[in-house]
Amino acid sequence: MQFDAKIPTGPIEKKWEKHRFEMKLVNPANKRKFDVIVVGSGLAGGSASATLAELGYNVKCFCFQDSPRRAHSIAAQGGINAAKNYRNDGDSVFRLFYDTVKGGDYRSREANVHRLAEVSVNIIDQCVAQGVPFAREYGGLLDNRSFGGAQVSRTFYARGQTGQQLLLGAYQALARQIHAGKVQMFPRTEMLDLVVVDGRARGIVTRNLLTGKIESHAADAVVLASGGYSNVFFLSTNAKGCNVTAAWRAHRHGALFANPCFTQIHPTCIPPSDDTQSKLTLMSESLRNDGRIWVPGKEGDARRARDIPEGERDYFLERKYPAFGNLVPRDVASRNAKYVVDDGKGVGPTGVGVYLDFADAIQRLGKDTIEARYGNLFEMYERITGENPYQVPMRIYPAPHYTMGGLWVDYNLMTTVDGLYAIGEANFSDHGANRLGASALMQGLADGYFVLPYTIGDYLSQHLGEEKIGPDHAAFQDAERKVGGDIERLLSIDGKRTVDSFHRELGKLVWDECGMSRTADGLKKALKRIPQLREEFWSDLKIVGNGEGLNQSLEKAGRLADFMELAETMCRDALDRQESCGAHFREEFQTEEGEAKRNDKDYSYTAAWEYKGADQEPALHKEPLEFENVKLTQRSYK
Ligand SMILES: Cc1cc2nc3c(=O)[nH]c(=O)nc-3n(C[C@H](O)[C@H](O)[C@H](O)COP(=O)(O)OP(=O)(O)OC[C@H]3O[C@@H](n4cnc5c(N)ncnc54)[C@H](O)[C@@H]3O)c2cc1C
């Protein structure tokens, strides 16, 4: 398969400006002749839908929640990066670009990351204009804090609810367009198939989750903003409904899936309390600004935290990485937590956890300051664990959190299916092999507010005056029949095991073999077991109820069927990449100090997988990565 990243020529700081000028525009009167489908109403889909409608396009926006305001973006806590340099501490567009490429361990596309850094400043202006209540300093300027992987303060935040406030901003803009009749909103509606006619994405087939009705929707372009796939691990910090279905079904129609094994394990989550847990909770990384991470210096020390004297504690990140200390990137912090737990120094009832301690910060800054910064997070922690983090250290452990992999897109955010775009966490994004904190919100909003609205116009302008295709077209009828048939197949299995029991088993397997660290043997084991599990799923699944109304087991089963296929491609991707980079840690490839050891000569590429059928091996395509503006080095945070 041929594919082209369409990176504009010229110096990096001029590429986006030049490209914007060269792209064709659609005049205002013609914009209303175009229909665009947006699947997703989170920060990426909400911002894109509102902006496209504001420009004059007719938008249909879909989400499976009861309101667009409940998209998973609402959970984002810590903040959003932007190269505003309000602190005058040496930040710049180039530094944000540089940090992001380095943070991703040199496995992202330079041109995209530079554009992201450029538009980061516009995002903050846009959100402030919408009324997003970012934290402010005494003098009135927007406040900033630091996040892992950076030595400057560039993270804008609204207490520990940044995602919620940003989403309310995007939602207001969306609601305005719903009211104006330019956006038709379809809540509680799940996309179950993509419709491609003559090689072009022309619409989707959906199921109304309340009535079970299957319907077709046609458009001139389709945008997937359907979020990430961390729930392949079953336990993750994502909302339970997050899934890969929209992206995976597009993958089946020819959209390449890039770097599926690049998944982020976030270091600061509340550890699971036992094997029956169904959801994990994030404690924002912003806590690492003031909290100090430590474990007892000796193995099996069962004393309470406060009874362990200073000299008998191991502040392992501060010890190993003096320059960045507790603010090393997420992959480094997570791996090091795993090492101390593997060494028997873990804390808490299960021994799987490390301390995040605020005693010093409270003494230095006062409880009021800490409460003002993190009050809602402390409250949430106490509600879940019954422990008061003002008095005893929090316990944290890494958990699946974000997926850098996703649908492959070119510089215009178009997938390998003509007219099909992917934005936000659903695409393979600008984060390479590791995402730095506070950069997902930045990327989702960059895509939705500032990139897609330009690039989609260039595409649509080439289709002005063409005949429309409606949902009565045979391709839609075929797709509806297929979706109906798949649902029937799931309902008719009538086996003995629940969806969750299959999902839990799949999740544990993927976590053990394709989680925080990976080996060729483990990955081969998973690749043997997953097809067996898939077969068991299709012969022994039990779904109660029918397809004619709300049926959450049915919804989950359809999503799990896709996770099973994805899990296999993830493991294949991890096995193929015989190097360690960022969050992809292959135990066979590490430096003497236990750091990720890249192999730039052989693996400096984006892996883009082509679907060949559920029982066939996918085909690997490679997009070579070229670095002209950053120097590839062994990442060092010492
Ligand atoms: C707990 C938590 C905290 C975080 N904190 C931060 C932070 O501080 N800073 C930061 O930068 N990032 C943070 N992140 C990451 C960030 O929140 C997400 O990456 C980002 O919000 C994803 O936005 P999105 O619009 O791409 O997807 P989402 O917000 O997940 O939205 C997906 C949308 O797609 C819809 N959808 C999905 N599939 C279908 C389908 N088949 N049919 C119809 N609709 C569908 C959903 O209904 C939803 O509307 C955090 C993530 C988590 C889990």
Q: How much is the pLDDT for 601?
A: 96
The residue whose CA has the least distance to atom 27 of ligand 1 is: 227
3-state helix, strand, coil in the chain (%, to 5): 40, 15, 40
Output the pTM of the full model.
Answer: 0.95
- Answer whether residue 337 shows pLDDT above 90: yes
Mind listing the pLDDT tens digit for each residue in 155-190? 999 988 999 999 999 999 999 999 999 999 999 999
pLDDT value, residue 160? 83
Whether residue 419 is predicted with pLDDT greater than 90 in this model: the reply is yes
15 has a pLDDT exceeding 90: yes
Task: Give the catalytic positions in this structure.
Answer: 330
Residue 437 near residue 583 (C-beta atoms within 8 A): no
> What is d(CA 432, CA 392) in angstroms, rounded to the nearest whole number?
36
Task: List pocket residues of ligand 1, CB cut-off 6 Å.
Answer: 39-45, 62-65, 71-73, 75-80, 162-163, 190-191, 225-228, 237-238, 242-243, 245-246, 282, 284, 401-402, 424-426, 438-441, 444
Instruction: Give the per-residue pLDDT at 44.
Output: 98
The answer, yes or no, to whether residue 539 has pLDDT greater than 90, is: yes
CA-to-CA dists, residue 191 to 63, 217, 226, angstroms: 8, 10, 10
Of all residues in the chain, the percent with pLDDT exceeding 70 is 100
563 pLDDT exceeds 80? yes
Rounded-to-integer distance, Cα 525 and Cα 527, Å: 5
Model confidence at 355: pLDDT above 90: yes
Locate the ligand 1 atom nearest the alpha carbon of residue 163 and give its number: 17
User: What is the rounded average pLDDT for all residues in the chain?
Assistant: 95
Strand partners, 193: 205
For residue 226, give the ligand 1 atom closest to its CA: 34
132: which 2 tokens?
């997003």
Task: Report how far ligand 1's centroid is from the alpha carbon of 43 (Å).
Answer: 7
Tokens 């409606």 sit at which residue? Answer: 470
pLDDT at 149 over 80: no
For 185, residues 6+ apart whose C-beta sits below 8 A from its C-beta are 41, 61, 63, 68, 174, 178
What are 441's two structure tokens? 């919100």
CA 506 – CA 564 distance, rounded (Å):
7
Q: Which residue has the tokens 């600061």?
A: 268
Helix (H, G, I), strand (E, B) or coil at 301: coil
Split at pLDDT 50, 70, 90, the class of 2 is confident
Higher-confidence residue: 349 or 243?
243
Phi, psi of 403 (to 5 degrees): -120, 115
Read off φ and ψ for residue 103, nearest 5 degrees: -55, -35
Confidence band of 129 (pLDDT split at 50, 70, 90): very high
- Distance (angstroms) between ligand 1 centre and the Cα of 316 equals 32
In this predicted structure, what is the pLDDT of residue 442?
Answer: 97
Mean pLDDT, range 16-28, rounded to an integer: 97
* Residue 115, burial from CB neighbour count under 10 angstroms (0-12, 13-18, 19+): buried
Residue 125: count of CB within 10 angstroms of its CB: 11
pLDDT one-digit tens code per residue, 297-329 = 999 999 999 999 999 999 999 999 999 999 998
The answer, yes or no, to whether residue 635 has pLDDT greater than 80, is no
Q: What is the pLDDT of residue 394?
A: 97
- CA 81, CA 436: separation in Å to the nearest integer? 10
* Confidence grade of residue 633 (pLDDT, cut at 50, 70, 90): confident
pLDDT 10s digits, 73-115: 999 988 999 999 999 899 999 999 999 999 999 999 999 999 9
Helix segments in 449-551, DSSP class H: 452-461, 474-491, 499-514, 520-540
